[in-house]
Amino acid sequence: MTDQTKELIDKLQVKPGVKVKLKDGDARGERLFRDEPETRAETAALAEEINALQDRLYAERQRALLVILQGMDTSGKDGTVRDVFNATGSIGVFVHAFGRPSEMELAHDYLWRVHAVCPRRGTIGIFNRSHYEDVLVPKVHKLLSKSDIGKRYDQINDFERMLTENGTVVLKFMLHISRAEQAQRLQERLDDPRKRWKFNPGDLEDRKLWDEFEDAYETMLEKCSTTVAPWYVIPADRKWVRNGAIARIVKATLEEMDPQYPKPAWKPTDFSVV
Ligand code: AMP
Ligand code: MG
């Protein structure tokens, strides 16, 4: 891992049990990168390296990588998938977007639908939203008691520890945008005919609850950043900063996993292709 990446991780990783204050000013990520063109070029190169590492992961078929993306509406969860995993062969990458639970899903415990779509060995799974909605939404809308939500933080930590002990590395990115940036992005969805399909009037209702969501995110970061599955708070007001930071962390993580091509039990010279 390069010193630059170590420094980046140190700045963005949430230390277990530490209370994070999400300040609008930090969403720009000043001083994380030198300049925009250089970072864009680095991100494109990293996307290629992620692809090469993913090929090894797929061939090895022993472990998996789970990338969790959380963030307010318009924080760039879809954009991250597009920009960071755009060079990665689609055979070994699965994206799952979690919406409101169906009747069937509600008939089970909240982790049931999540566990069912966790990545199989050899693959990268990307969650656009996740089981963290099951602590955020009930807290903001006061759907569960404090003690029941408290239990869920512990259950989530146990669940993620279980995944990591069974060969899945878990990376969690909270895409941090400011309230002003969200206003701009929502307005764009209204103004730009190509973005209008993404506009959901319900997002304006959630926007009114900005402070409550921010508070719920801060608690989630404090309770569920663990040594085995830490949270990263990614400044996401500028897309190139967001992409640069996530690409570096994903690449460093795969590099650390160091997947190996399996060694066949035969020698290539045992065969001749006729
Ligand atoms: P979007 O990601 O913008 O398409 O919206 C998905 C919506 O589903 C968001 O409003 C989420 O808060 C909501 N959602 C996702 N998972 C859950 C959950 N477990 N409980 C309640 N709402 C959820
Ligand atoms: Mg939405």
Question: Does the beta carbon of 134 sit less than 6 angstroms from any atom of ligand 1?
Answer: yes
Domains assigned to the chain: 3-259 (3.40.50.300)
203 CA to centre of ligand 2 in angstroms: 6
Question: Does the beta carbon of 98 sit less than 6 angstroms from any atom of ligand 1?
Answer: yes
The ligand that comes nearest to the alpha carbon of residue 101 is: 1
Write out the E strands in 194-263.
Answer: 231-235
Give the pLDDT score at 57: 97
Q: Are 258 and 75 in contact (CB under 8 A)?
A: no
Give the pLDDT score at 91: 87
Q: Whose CA is nearest to atom 4 of ligand 1?
A: 99
Question: Does the beta carbon of 139 sit less than 6 angstroms from any atom of ligand 1?
Answer: no
Give the pLDDT score at 153: 98
213 CA to centre of ligand 1 in angstroms: 13
Question: Does the beta carbon of 99 sit less than 6 angstroms from any atom of ligand 1?
Answer: yes
**Which atom belonging to ligand 1 lies closest to the Cα atom of 206?**
10
At 124, is the secondary structure helix, strand, or coil?
A: strand
- Output the CA–CA distances (angstroms, integers) from residue 107 to 102, 110, 111, in the order listed: 9, 9, 11
Residues in a beta bridge with 68:
127, 172
Question: Does the beta carbon of 198 sit less than 6 angstroms from any atom of ligand 1?
Answer: no
pLDDT per residue rounded down to tens, the chain (274 residues): 889 999 999 999 999 989 999 999 899 999 899 999 999 999 999 999 999 999 999 999 999 999 999 999 999 999 999 999 988 888 899 999 999 999 999 999 999 999 999 999 999 999 999 999 999 999 999 999 999 999 999 999 999 999 999 999 999 999 999 999 999 999 999 999 999 999 999 999 999 999 999 999 999 999 999 999 999 999 999 999 999 999 999 999 999 999 999 999 999 999 999 9
The CA distance from 205 to 121, in Å, is 39
The CA distance from 122 to 54, in Å, is 8
Give the pLDDT score at 89: 80
Q: Whose CA is nearest to atom 22 of ligand 1?
A: 100
Give the pLDDT score at 221: 98
The CA distance from 77 to 236, in Å, is 10
**Which atom belonging to ligand 1 lies closest to the Cα atom of 97?**
2
